[in-house]
Structure 1
Amino acid sequence: MTQSNAPKTEPQPSDIRPPLERSFSRYVKQPFNEFVANQTTGAIILLASTFVALWLANSDYASVYRQLEKVTFGLFVDDFRLEMDLHDWVNDGLMVLFFFTLGLEVKREFIAGELSSIKNSAAVILAAIGGMVSPALIYYAINFGGDGSTGWGVPMATDTAFALGAMALLGSKVNPSLKVFLVALAIVDDIGAVLVIALFYTDQIDWNALSIAAGFFAGLLALNRLGIRGPFWYVVLALGLWYYILQSGVHATIAGVLAALAIPARPKVHPSHLAHSMKSKAAAIYQHLSDPQQSSEQQPKEVLSDEQKDLALEEIQRQAQLTRTPLRIWENMLNTPVSLLIVPIFAFLNAGTEITPQALDDMLHAPIAWGIVFGLLVGKPIGIFSLTWLSVKTGMGEINSSLNFKEIFGLSLLAGMGFTMSMFIALLSFDGSQQQLLDAKLGIMGATLIAGVLGYLWLRFVTPYRGESA
């Protein structure tokens, strides 16, 4: 072990905050931050938003709830008008940020994650393909020749927040490698869903608007190649890309994925440079604060007037920023608001469904609902498990050595939780029929609930993880 150049006397930790601030931080701020960072929090808020929407849609406030999504507002500058109701602003606007963070995750995984090598990614990619094709085929077989056949894309997607939330509830009883496999699978699954939306759920294309959007996308790629990392021009060009894709007829959320692909994934300087610089700067700060003439318990006044310390910290902060990648910065900044705010808002405005005995009876006789239920509960496990097994047995791919196929089957059950993306595709599929959309929503919610329970019970009691000794 190398010897440190720091003085031998250890610094005494000191918290110079007032007692009230320390108490607030300990009993309010810290528990709140832990709650926000918890992996189950997003699933809990999403579930709560869904239940509140269902309660409102079936209460005396149903009319208020229905009118809420029709509130219209927009941007008006001279002859320019961009006006939509709240429902469209959320689905075509806010959800672009959801797809943007999805695109960032996709890019990161293909550059440095589970999908960065052919051998590691083959099993995941094949599993995801099986988990998309099998549900779509089952749905289409049930709805063949019917009005609902266009909804074959609905049971293809997995809701990552719900699936990871169910895994998080298992704690140490779930293999950590299984979570990694699920995240990678869900990313490939989401890529498939994005392609399906772009290719099959676009009614009419305005090629002039699409060509202008292509110009904005080319501008974003040029920023990347020129080494521009500041957010301003990326935001400006991304807004232009979003607007013209919205006008083109292609679903506007595709703009989020395209913009994410243009975000730089390289830092300006290597982290080793920061490590060397921080070592010298930290030593200088330590020596300065350890001067016998300096108090070890500096008060705010002395800390504020310590210009030498501030200059050193500013330099450390500047150099640390140079070693961070814009991709990671955007991802870390948006993950929490997207999972805890944007997705729950989407669920709140879209999950509200009037559940009456007649609606349930209609659902039980609706091929759309049964196609979704069987697609998610049967198609997902069959597709994911069978192609994972096939890829490993044929040597085309490999899974972590700590995983077994019983755990993979439990994962494939959880993958049947298709809430957010399934709901999104259902809105595109059945936009012209409230009854079909109602059947689809009930099928999605019912299948997601059952899949979550089955997957949890399987991983909890059939294949509980017992660590390295298992």
Structure 2
Amino acid sequence: MSIIRSERTAAALLLGAAALGLLLANTAAGPALLDLQHAHLGAGGLELSVGHWISDGLLAVFFFIVAVELRHELVAGDLNSVAKALHPAIAAACGVAVPALVYLAFAGSAGLGQGWPVPTATDIAFALGVLAVFGRGLPNRLRVFLLALAVLDDLIAIVIIAVFFTTDPNLVELLLAAVAVVAFGLLSRLLRGRLRWPIGVLMVLVALLTWWLVYDSGVHATIAGVALGLVMSRGPARRVAHALEPWSNGLILPLFAFSAALVVIPAVSPAELSPAFWGILVALPVGKLVGITLGGWLGSFTRSPEDRARIPLFGLIVVGALGGIGFTVSLLMNELAFTGQTRAEGTLAVLLGSAVAIVVSGGLVSALARRYRARYPHRG
């Protein structure tokens, strides 16, 4: 399982799954796969398409792991004080605002403004994977800054999903979900001794109930995974997240990438493509790079001159380029924001924009790594 935990492997599986989905969607097998994606499974009030079981159900596990990591960073990691969190927080905020403005400049006047969140996300697994592949010899502080920024970026993405993609929520079911979340958190503090397995089984049942209540309330169901990850007792949460990580990296995220990339490439000229396509395509690699670099530079003034020099401007540019790899969360937001042909074009834009960011960031990371290896040969 250790190889599946690798950031390089996780990034490779994501890219391969998305490429395979896009390729198969445009072959003779495409119609059958799309029919399967839209086939409904379940019974009664819980009958979802296969695609929605993946994006609403399985992806909640990924967001649970993200929430556990977020809580660890806020409590005991690199974000456990205002002084530590302020610099990456400013970079993350600008890294969300600038791509949104770039997108709106392209698509806002075309009545497609609801797509502004799509290019605001950073894919942690992919960004860290590119850094691991090309960054031999780089100091760990660059990875720490990228991780802190990406975690805060995910927090912003969670808030965006909860606030902007929720309409007319059922407040009674949300209240019941909150009660179930509290019960889940209390039960997690009893995970010891002979009661471990019975309580574990009960927690799974409570987690499933929470997921159903959040889904049925009208809030995106992945928020249930976030809530459960935030309230679970820290020790057991870290162990559960560690156990789930190979399944998330090796199955859930590739399956989501494959499903999300199942789009037929439109047979139209570039001039006929939606403004949303161009907005996402430019905002991901360019908007994120500009926003994170600007925010990182502004945020550096909150630190001492010695700390400020630890991440030079070129390092901030590298992190900004890595932040343009939207992928997983961008694909999810694209599904939430658009329907029909616009969704298909949005998916292509996310894949192409992220691909550009991968190429650019790979080159920049390699250049920075060569500079560090030349300056500090013993680190290579």
In structure 1, which of residues 24, 33, 46 is the aligned counterpart of residue 14 of structure 2? Answer: 46
Secondary structure at the aligned position of 1:466 is classed as helix
**Is residue 120 of structure 1 aligned with residue 84 of structure 2?**
yes
The aligned amino acid for 1:121 is: A
Question: Shift in Å at residue 251 of structure 1?
Answer: 0.4
Distance 1:399 1:184 in 2: 16
The aligned amino acid for 1:156 is: T
2:222 counterpart residue number: 253
1:329 counterpart residue number: 239
Distance 1:248 1:396 in 2: 47
In structure 1, which of residues 392, 408, 412 is the aligned counterpart of residue 300 of structure 2? Answer: 392
Which stretch of the first structure deviates more once superposed, 38-47 or 239-248? 38-47
Q: How many residues align?
A: 370
CA deviations 1:295-349 (Å, max 9, x no partner) are: xxxxxxxxxxxxxxxxxxxxxxxxxxxxxx2022112101111011100000111
2:156 counterpart residue number: 192
The aligned amino acid for 2:299 is: S
In structure 2, which of residues 30, 36, 42 is the aligned counterpart of residue 68 of structure 1? Answer: 36
Question: Shift in Å at residue 400 of structure 1?
Answer: 7.6
Question: Shift in Å at residue 183 of structure 1?
Answer: 1.4
Distance 1:397 1:96 in 2: 41
Q: Which has the larger radius of gyration?
A: 1
In structure 2, which of residues 358, 361, 371 is the aligned counterpart of residue 455 of structure 1? Answer: 361
1:84 counterpart residue number: 48
Task: Assess if the C-alpha contact under 8 Å between 2:87 and 2:302 holds in 1.
Answer: no
Distance 1:398 1:113 in 2: 21
Secondary structure at the aligned position of 1:172 is classed as coil
2:66 counterpart residue number: 102
Distance 1:162 1:399 in 2: 27
Task: Assess if the C-alpha contact under 8 Å between 1:173 and 1:459 holds in 2.
Answer: no
Task: Assess if the C-alpha contact under 8 Å between 1:353 and 1:438 holds in 2.
Answer: yes
Secondary structure at the aligned position of 2:232 is classed as coil
Secondary structure at the aligned position of 2:7 is classed as coil
Task: Assess if the C-alpha contact under 8 Å between 1:175 and 1:403 holds in 2.
Answer: no
Alignment of 1:21-40 (within 5 A): 33=1, 35-40=3-8
Question: Shift in Å at residue 35 of structure 1?
Answer: 3.5
Question: Shift in Å at residue 228 of structure 1?
Answer: 4.4
Secondary structure at the aligned position of 2:294 is classed as helix
Q: Structure 2 vs 1, CA of residues 34 and 105 (structure 1 numbering), >3 Å: closer, same or farther? A: closer
Distance 1:422 1:118 in 2: 28
**Is residue 144 of structure 1 aligned with residue 108 of structure 2?**
yes
Point out where structure 1 has 5 or more consecutive residues left out of the alignment: 1-32, 266-324
Q: Percent identity?
A: 32
1:346 counterpart residue number: 256
TM-score by length of 2: 0.91
Please provide the CA RMSD for this pair.
2.2
Q: Structure 2 vs 1, CA of residues 399 and 336 (structure 1 numbering), >3 Å: closer, same or farther? A: farther
Distance 2:191 2:221 in 1: 25
CA deviations 1:403-429 (Å, max 9, x no partner) are: 322111111011101011001001000
Which of the pair is proportionally richer in helix?
A: 2
The aligned amino acid for 2:37 is: E
Q: Structure 2 vs 1, CA of residues 469 and 174 (structure 1 numbering), >3 Å: closer, same or farther? A: closer
The aligned amino acid for 2:349 is: G
Secondary structure at the aligned position of 1:83 is classed as strand
1:410 counterpart residue number: 318
Distance 2:160 2:277 in 1: 20
Question: Shift in Å at residue 396 of structure 1?
Answer: 8.2
Distance 2:306 2:147 in 1: 16
1:466 counterpart residue number: 373
Distance 1:454 1:189 in 2: 20
Alignment of 1:238-387 (within 5 A): 238-265=207-234, 325-358=235-268, 360-363=270-273, 366-387=274-295
CA deviations 1:22-47 (Å, max 9, x no partner) are: xxxxxxxxxxx563343211111111
Q: Structure 2 vs 1, CA of residues 396 and 151 (structure 1 numbering), >3 Å: closer, same or farther? A: farther
Question: Shift in Å at residue 218 of structure 1?
Answer: 2.4
Distance 2:224 2:374 in 1: 42
The aligned amino acid for 1:56 is: L
Q: Structure 2 vs 1, CA of residues 198 and 359 (structure 1 numbering), >3 Å: closer, same or farther? A: farther
Task: Assess if the C-alpha contact under 8 Å between 1:72 and 1:83 holds in 2.
Answer: yes
Q: Structure 2 vs 1, CA of residues 91 and 424 (structure 1 numbering), >3 Å: closer, same or farther? A: same
CA deviations 1:198-233 (Å, max 9, x no partner) are: 001112211221121122122223335x64454233
Which stretch of the first structure deviates more once superposed, 110-119 or 138-147? 138-147
**Is residue 169 of structure 1 aligned with residue 133 of structure 2?**
yes
Question: Shift in Å at residue 361 of structure 1?
Answer: 4.9
